[in-house]
Structure 1
Amino acid sequence: MKLRCAVLDDFQGTAASSADWGAITGDVEMVSFDRHFATEEELAGALAGFQAVVTLRERVAFPASLFARLPELRLLIASGMRNSVIDFAAAREHGVTVCGTTSSSTPPVELTWALILGLARGIVTENTALRTGGPWQSTVGADLHGRRLGLLGLGKIGSRVAAVGLAFGMEVVAWSQNLTEERADEVGVGLAASKEELLGSSDFVSVHLALGDRTRGLLGAPELALMKPTAYLVNTSRAAIVDQEALYTALREGAIAGAGLDVFDVEPLPPAHPVRSLPRLLATPHLGYVSQDNYRAYYGQAVENIRAFLAGSPIRVLN
């Protein structure tokens, strides 16, 4: 009897072509779902009868209640080696092995700069006008050279964003609760005296922090009020680091020049979500990890994980 494997949120239908599933077709039946299941009840119904599941990043939560509703589940594969929405203890209790894959930090770095450049030069506005018979030149671009880029977080992604900012001739400063002067010097950027100083002095602010108790709601209305009215905020990290309602208000009132967002409080965004009609916003549907190389790694290693599990020697085990 074949192991049945469900691939969740395969929106582009690329799971099958991103890896050699043929290597395990004799033992595995793969079924991909191209839509998101909004409720646990709907998800549990869709996954009934599957022994393995491949899930993308942290889009789908696997709490204890869901494991209890999936008695046949034996293998859960998450893209990446960290996942904050899987209850690993519950997985163990229900006899489910959880495995991960590698995940490159390059795609989110590149998307961060796509958002910064898109905001600075009004790319979407100008492209739309050009293609629909609108005005010829309706925006005046914000310069990068000589401007200050403030980074909240200087880890693997933040440091690479910093390198690009330096290449553009920007003054780059960074801050986080644990950031040291030695680390800032190592990357070649300045250490902001405080979060408040960074926000008040930067022309572009980009968020590159992990979500946790200390960073949830780190930027609220008081912090956003410190930003220049000509400054831009970019968040490709986690939506909950920024108070969403406070940000929406700032954009509606023009308190900041604009924002570039790739992460949201609800994903996928419902049709009537306020983000869809906000002014001064450049938004992408959580594309930070969505790239050809990453997908090849996610699904290629998912196949490897399944093969190893079937052989009785699981690899990249997270629990």
Structure 2
Amino acid sequence: MDILSEAIAAIRTGSPTSGLFIRHAPWGRRYPIVPGAGFHVVLQGSCWVVPPNGEPMALGVGDVLFMPRGADHDLVDSLDSPVTERALPGEPREIVGPGVRTVLLCGAYELGRRHSVVGRSHPLLDELPEFVHLPARPGRHPALRGAVDLLAAEIAEPRPGSDAAVPALLEMLLLFILRSWFDEQADARSTGWAGAFADPAVAAVLRAVHAQPARAWTVPDLSDVAGVSRATLARRFAATVGEPPLAYVTRWRMLTAARLLRETDSGLGAVARRVGYTSEFAFAKAFKREYGLAPGRYRRAEDNPPLVAV
């Protein structure tokens, strides 16, 4: 089982949004926090991202900026330019002006965090920094560059089939952004989720839990799957995944349950059984502790998701 694909599928909600934006200097836009994740790709020109706290970052042609928790920020053509307006749904696609032209591909994803009591989705996203900057470098991340080029072309000049192509390309873009980030981290260190993918014992446990969330997992069971001692598994799992193995089992069960509630019409008893609960009451209690809503209310709320600004 592909750990990264399963994790993305478990947290992806709603439909992603995207658009091409043309800006002529001077310009500045404030991007408010969104209930999901956002991204910017510079297709032409350059700009600066200015976080509320922290140093500004320069973005050049081909650079990708990903905000896994939808952090608020400013985008400006120059650090001397004032921020004039907030970027909102219905934002003008072009801002005219006398200066240099910048073309941006911007978009947003919903990632199942908005109902979580603790504001989390999946640990591989929770560990990411507020701003993931993937600079364009010759020979680096060719799949990500290819997805950006294809998506930009479909949005700039829609053709028959574009309504199907754009959502699929947005899904690919999210995958390639995450893969590129973890590849870069693997080059530098072996902790975090980059280390989880590379550690055979931890990866084996993750695949087993993802494949069988209803199984009554125990630490001895998981250490047998990993092929290492319980103490070794506990140490390596916590260092990479960020929590003990059985805590992750519970987290994965709740993520799987939330996905089933969003995407299927299965009754609550059936959902409970598919994630390892023989008692619907015990399942509802655990689910509410994580999401702040009873399973039925969560399902109704997900039928009417909020708009995510681009």
Question: Please, what TM-score do these two structures have when normalized by structure 1?
Answer: 0.26
Higher relative contact order (CA 8 A, sep 6+): 2
Structure ranking higher in helix proportion: 2
